[in-house]
Amino acid sequence: MFKKFENLVDPYVAHAEQDRPPRRLWPFLWDYSQPFKGLFALTAFMSVVVAAIEIGLIWYMGRVVDLMSSGDPATVLADYGLELTLAAVFILTIRPLLQGLDVALLNNAILPQFGALVRWRAHKQVLRQSVGFFENDFAGRIANRIMQTPGSAGDAIFQVFDAITFSLAYLVGAVILLMGSDPRLALPLVVWFTLYALLLRWTMRRVGPASKAASDARSMTTGRVVDSYTNIHAVKLFAHNDTELAYAKEAIEFTRQTFAKEMRIFTTMDVMLVTLNGFLIVAVVGWGILLWSQGAASVGVVAAATALALRLSAMTGWIMWAVSTFFRALGVVAEGMETITEPIDLVDAADAKPLRLTEGEVVLENLSHHYGRGAGGLDNISLTIKPGEKIGLVGRSGAGKSSLVKLLLRFYDAEQGRILIDGQDIALVQQDSLRRVIGMVQQDSSLLHRSVRDNILYGAPDASDAAMIEAAKRAEAHEFILDLQDPQGRRGYDAHVGERGVKLSGGQRQRVTLARAILKNAPILVLDEATSALDSEVEAQIQETLYGVMEGKTVIAIAHRLSTIARMDRIIVLDDGHIVEDGTHDALLAKGGLYAGFWARQSGGFIGLDEGAE
C-alpha cells in the first residue's frame, strides 16, 4: 500500500535546466513544486476535511450532552440509539480512513519524494557550475546548503498541510459552530484571533531573518570544520591544532550567538501565547456560562464551547510553533538558494554542437585571461600546436601555464581571444564533447573516495577489466594495487582509496591517475607535472610508457623537471603571461636565454625559482 503512495510522483522526472533559475523564494519553491501540484491540492482538501470532522465531533459531543439532558436514559436510548450507533461506526471506521488518507498523502506521497526532488535538482544544478565557482567557496559550505535545503523545504511543505491548512480550516469551522449556537459566542473568539494574528505577525517578521542568519552561521561553521579535516595533513604537520580550534571556535561562537537571538523570539512568543490562551478560555467559557444563566444557551452548547476553547488553547502552541517552523524552514531554504540559484555563466552556446576532432590541431589566437583582476594569467598569447605535435610548457610559477590549460579545457571562458581545435572555437562547441577528447594527468592527483577500479574506470566507464588492468600495468600501478587492503577488508582493485586518495602515497595516486588517462586514450593529452610525485626509478620506467602513450597524440606537457620534456618537439617558455621563447631543447640551450638559465640552475631536474599562484 505504501508503495502506491510513494510512486505517485517521480522525483527524478525530466525537467528543463535553467542557467538563470528563480532567485526569489516563492518562484523558486513554485518551480520545484510543479510535479506535485495535483498532490498538493488533494492534500490541502484532505486537511480541510479532517479539520471539519474534528469540529463536527466537538459539535456532536455538545449534542450528546443535550440529548442526555432531554429525558430519562431509556427514552433517550430508544429515540436516539440508532443515531448514536451510526456516530460510533463513523468514528471507528470512516474517520480513521480519511485521517489515514490525509497522513499517507503527506508522509508517504509528498515528503520523501519532494525532498529527493529538491536534493537531486539542486545537486544537478550545482554540478553544472564552472570550476571557478567551486574554487571561490568552501566545498563544505556548498555541500551543507545542498543537504539542508531539501529537508527544510520538506519541513515547510509539511507545516503547510499538517498545521497551517488544518488550523485555518479548524478556526473557520469553530467560528461557524459558535455562531450557529449563538452569534455572541463567536465574539471572544474573533477578538482572541485578532490578537493571536498580531502575535503571529510579530513572530514571523523576526523568525525568517533570524533563521536565515543562523543557517548562514551553521554553513560557515561547517565550511571551516570541513576545511580543517580536508587539510588534516597540513594541520598535523605544522602542529596547528590550537589554531584550527580557535578558527572553528570563532565560527561556533558566532553560530551560538545567532541561534540564541533566534531562541529569544520563541521565548517571548511562548509567554505572550500563554497569556492569550488564558484570555480565550476565560472569555469563551465565561461568556457561555453567562448566556446559559440567561437561558440563551443550552448546557450542550456551553460544553461544546468549552471543549472548543480548550482544544484551541492546546492547538495554539502547536500552530504557533508550526508556523514558526515554517518560516524558519523558509529562512534555511533562502540561505541554500544563495548557492543553488547562483546563475551559471559558463554555458554551452545556444547552437553548440559536439566537437568534431579530425587531426588534433590546437590554435591559440590572441588569448588573454586575467581572472577579472587585470593582471596575472595570460596576456595576448598566440600559438599553433600542429596535429600530433608534442610541446613542453615551461616557466616560473605564476607565468600562466596552468591558466593556459584551464582555458583549453574551458574551465573558464577567455576574457579575450579564442582557442580553436581543428578550426572549431571551443567556446562554440559542447563542453562535454571538448573534455572527452582531452586526457589529463595533474600534479594534484586527487582521487574519488571510491575503489581503485572506480577511479581508473573514470577514464572509460565501459572499458573491460582486462583493459583497466593493462592501463594500470603500463602506469606501473598494478603491483602495488594488488597489495592494497582497506579497513573494510576490500582488497586490490576493490580497495577504497579514502577521501582525495589519502590512503595512497603521492606517487601511488599519480600512477592511478596516469592509468586513468591511459585508459581514456584521448587524442589530446595534457600532462601537468605528471611524474612529479614519483621517485627516480619509477619515473624512469614510466617515462618510456608516457612517450608510448603520446604516440600519435597532440601533447602539452607542463614540467619543472626539465629532463622530462627535453625530448619534446618544441618547448614553449612562458614568463609573466607571455611567450618569450619557442624552440627545441637544443635550440633554446644554444640561444642562452631564459630556458638555458633554467637548465643551468636546475638541481635534481627542477626549476628552482619563486613559487606563486597561477
Domain-terminating residue out of 308, 340, 372: 340
What is 181-221 written as a DSSP string? Answer: H-GGGHHHHHHHHHHHHHHHHHHHHHHHHHHHHHHHHHHHH
Q: How far apart are the first and last CA of the chain?
A: 59
Domain-terminating residue out of 314, 340, 366: 340
pLDDT tens digits along 452-485: 999 999 889 999 999 999 999 988 889 999 999 9
- Give the distance, in angstroms, between the CA of residue 277 and the centroid of all CA atoms in the same chain: 41
Cell numbers given for 360: 588534433
Residues sharing a CB contact under 8 Å with residue 375, sequence separation 6 or more, in sequence order: none
Residue type at 284? V
The reply to whether 94 and 225 lie within a common domain is yes
A 10 A CB-CB count for 511 gives 27
CA distance 473 to 485: 19
| Positive or negative: CA dihedral 409, 410, 415, 421 | positive
Cell numbers given for 250: 570563532
Indicate whether 5 belongs to any domain. Answer: no
The reply to whether 296 and 374 lie within a common domain is no
Number of domains in the chain: 2
Tell me if 346 sits within 8 A of 413, measured CB to CB.
yes
CATH number assigned to the domain comprising residue 401: 3.40.50.300
> What residue spans of 231-240 are helical by DSSP H?
232-237
Tell me if 532 sits within 8 A of 444, measured CB to CB.
no
CA distance 84 to 149: 49
Domain-terminating residue out of 340, 366, 399: 340
Beta-sheet pairing, 416-421 with 424-425: antiparallel
| Positive or negative: CA dihedral 204, 206, 207, 213 | positive
Residue type at 303? A
What is 452-470 written as a DSSP string? Answer: HHHHHHTT-TT--HHHHHH
pLDDT tens digits along 52-108: 888 888 788 878 888 888 778 888 888 888 988 999 999 999 999 998 999 899 889
- Return the percent helix, strand and coil in the chain, to nearest 5: 65, 10, 25
The reply to whether 279 and 412 lie within a common domain is no
| Structure letter (DSSP) for residue 602 | -
What is 523-584 written as a DSSP string? Answer: SEEEEESTTTTS-HHHHHHHHHHHHHHHTTSEEEEE-SSGGGTTTSSEEEEEETTEEEEEE-
> Which pLDDT does position 614 carry in this prediction?
44
Indicate whether 560 belongs to any domain. Answer: no
**In which element (H, E) is residue 74 found?**
helix 73-89
Per run of 10 residues, the mean pLDDT along the chain (length 614 residues) is: 88 88 88 91 89 83 81 84 90 92 90 90 89 81 84 84 75 74 75 82 80 83 84 78 89 91 84 82 80 78 77 72 77 85 88 92 93 80 94 87 90 92 94 91 79 92 93 90 91 89 82 90 86 63 74 87 84 92 92 89 52 41
| Structure letter (DSSP) for residue 420 | E
pLDDT tens digits along 379-389: 899 999 999 99
The reply to whether 182 and 33 lie within a common domain is yes
Indicate whether 6 belongs to any domain. Answer: no
C-alpha distance from residue 608 to each of 49, 148, 358, 534, 561 (Å) = 78, 47, 39, 18, 10
Backbone phi and psi for residue 248, each to the nearest 5 degrees, phi listed first: -75, -40
CA distance 564 to 542: 11
Indicate whether 457 belongs to any domain. Answer: no
Indicate whether 268 belongs to any domain. Answer: yes
The reply to whether 303 and 426 lie within a common domain is no
The reply to whether 410 and 268 lie within a common domain is no
> Which pLDDT does position 361 carry in this prediction?
94
The reply to whether 265 and 335 lie within a common domain is yes
Indicate whether 383 belongs to any domain. Answer: yes
Indicate whether 42 belongs to any domain. Answer: yes
> Which pLDDT does position 39 carry in this prediction?
92
Angle at 363 between CA 358 and CA 366, to 5 degrees: 155
Tell me if 449 sits within 8 A of 498, measured CB to CB.
yes
β-sheet with 438-441: strand ranges across: 438-441, 524-528, 554-558, 390-395, 570-575, 578-583
The reply to whether 430 and 328 lie within a common domain is no
CATH number assigned to the domain comprising residue 221: 1.20.1560.10
Cell numbers given for 386: 600542429
| Structure letter (DSSP) for residue 160 | I
Q: Which residues pair with 381 in a beta bridge?
A: 367
Residues sharing a CB contact under 8 Å with residue 282, sequence separation 6 or more, in sequence order: none
CA distance 348 to 429: 7
The reply to whether 296 and 208 lie within a common domain is yes
The reply to whether 378 and 292 lie within a common domain is no
| Positive or negative: CA dihedral 128, 133, 137, 138 | positive
> Which pLDDT does position 317 carry in this prediction?
67
Q: Which residues of 437-473 are buried (b: 16+ CB within 10 A; e: fewer)?
A: bbbbbbbebebeeebbbbbbbbbbeebeeebbbbbbe
Indicate whether 231 belongs to any domain. Answer: yes
3-state secondary structure (DSSP) of residue 392: strand
Tell me if 329 sits within 8 A of 152, measured CB to CB.
yes
Cell numbers given for 582: 619557442
> Which pLDDT does position 169 carry in this prediction?
77
| Positive or negative: CA dihedral 398, 404, 409, 415 | positive
Give the domain extent around 362. Answer: 358-437+566-614
The reply to whether 70 and 168 lie within a common domain is yes
**In which element (H, E) is residue 405 found?**
helix 401-408
The reply to whether 284 and 396 lie within a common domain is no
Residues sharing a CB contact under 8 Å with residue 545, sequence separation 6 or more, in sequence order: 474, 475, 476, 518
